[in-house]
Amino acid sequence: MRIIPWMNTNEKKKIAILGSTGSIGTQALQVIEEHSDLYEAYVLTANNRVELLIEQARRFMPEAVVIANEDKYEVLRDALADLPVKVYAGADALCQIVQERPVDVVLTAMVGFAGLKPTISAIKAGKAIALANKETLVVAGELINRLANDYHADIIPVDSEHSAIFQCLAGEVSPVEKIILTASGGPFRTFSREQLAMVTKAQALKHPNWSMGAKITIDSASMMNKGFEVIEAKWLFGVEPGQIQVVVHPQSIVHSAVQFADGAVKAQLGVPDMRVPIQYAFSYPLRLQSSFERLDLFRIGTLTFEEPDTCRFRNLALAYEALYEGGNMPCIVNAANEVVNRAFLEDRIGFLQMSDVIANTMREASFIKEPTYEDYLQTDAEARRIAAEYVGTC
């Protein structure tokens, strides 16, 4: 993955936020607001949350806004008719707006497979990518790597764990021996399989440390989010699956670490606050002053670490299996997971059944060793259909 420092200029950095109404997007706007002398929200987009997008547009006065759901275009257009803000709608508009010449940085904070196409469009325009949509690399990591190199697109990771690894690698020229990817363990870390079989979405949505959107919170509870981060780490940092070790760290203070050839380990610590990696992605290679909470190790007192249990949290093992298999298998896993995640949120499937559906989908979906972009689209559709059929039998 091509990761290069962004050039500093005297002009404000113009940022397009794909998914400005989500958890990452709203926190990115807080960073922009705190450093309004350096950053400008140039484009804001949302999928469905039109009222919040209207509120954001009035507050930040972007050049343009895009609502992916075309049915909500008129509501958005009419609400902003008195402002000099361009209003667009639809998936094609998302892909086109990120290619606008003034855009310096595209923060990809859309959720799921939907983030792949506009991210590719931004890369092909040579835009700097602040990558928060992990599914882009999970689904099509090899393709994204190739495009980023071909179009000289710079990529900075925004996920707290991958940002931590990126920060640990700053200034290093020695090869990486191992990446230590930390995981909180989620709200069910100490639950037995019998208890996991009975958990509800209300319980799963109560993450002990992080404030996130519903989809990623469920993925965190099932540890599929960590599995996706393993796949993402392979493509971001050019390591093999066996070089990535997941360690459960309930306090979420050590965000990740890197072990080098001499046995030395560098870790990045901080309070759980996504604004820190977002700001670092915007400002790299500089570090800006912030008003964020500071880490107090005396107050924290104890940091603990555990080995993950892939029997109770099977999704992590399935993600590793997909990564070793390669080809379109991670795309299959992602599609199936999006289906079961939604089904769990809609009370149509149990917590442990999510892994069963994903495993069955991995077994039945068509495997392609060297997929093209069109293959990824077909794989996504096929895997969703298979997973939905299995959900219907649960």
pLDDT in tens for each of the 394 residues of the chain?
A: 544 444 455 689 999 999 999 999 999 999 999 999 999 999 999 999 999 999 999 999 999 999 999 999 999 999 999 999 999 999 999 999 999 999 999 999 998 899 999 999 999 999 999 999 999 999 999 999 999 999 999 999 999 999 999 999 999 999 999 999 999 999 999 999 999 999 999 999 987 776 678 898 999 999 999 999 999 999 999 999 999 999 999 999 999 999 999 999 999 999 999 999 999 999 999 999 999 999 999 999 999 999 999 999 999 999 999 999 999 999 999 999 999 999 999 999 999 999 999 999 999 999 999 999 999 999 999 999 999 999 999 8
Secondary structure, 3-state, 139-187:
HHHHHHHHHHHHCCCCEEECCHHHHHHHHHHCCCCCCEEEEEEEECCCC
End-to-end CA distance of the chain: 40
Sorted by where each begins, the domain ranges of the chain are 13-157, 163-325
Q: What CATH number does domain 13-157 carry, 3.40.50.300, 1.10.300.10, 3.40.50.720, 1.10.10.10?
A: 3.40.50.720
Annotated binding-site members for 1-deoxy-D-xylulose 5-phosphate: 134, 160-161, 184, 207, 220, 225-226, 229
Is the overall model pTM greater than 0.85, yes or no? yes
- Token pair recorded at residue 181: 């990817």
What pLDDT is attached to residue 394?
81
Specify the pLDDT at position 119.
97
User: Residue 44 forms beta bridges with which residues?
Assistant: 17, 65
Annotated binding-site residues read 21-24, 133-135, 159-161, 184, 207, 213, 220, 225-226, 229
Question: Residue 210's pLDDT is what?
Answer: 67
Residue ranges of the annotated binding site for NADPH are: 21-24, 133, 135, 213
Query: Is residue 393 packed enough to be buried (19+ CB in 10 Å), middle (13-18) or exposed (0-12)?
Result: exposed
Contact indicator for 147, 119 with CB cutoff of 8 Å: no
pLDDT of residue 7: 46
Q: How many CA atoms lie within 13 A of 158 on its CB side?
A: 30
Residue 80 CB neighbours (<10 A): 17
Predicted local distance difference test score (pLDDT) of residue 43: 98
pLDDT given at position 10: 67
Helix axis angle, 135-150 to 329-345, nearest 10°: 140
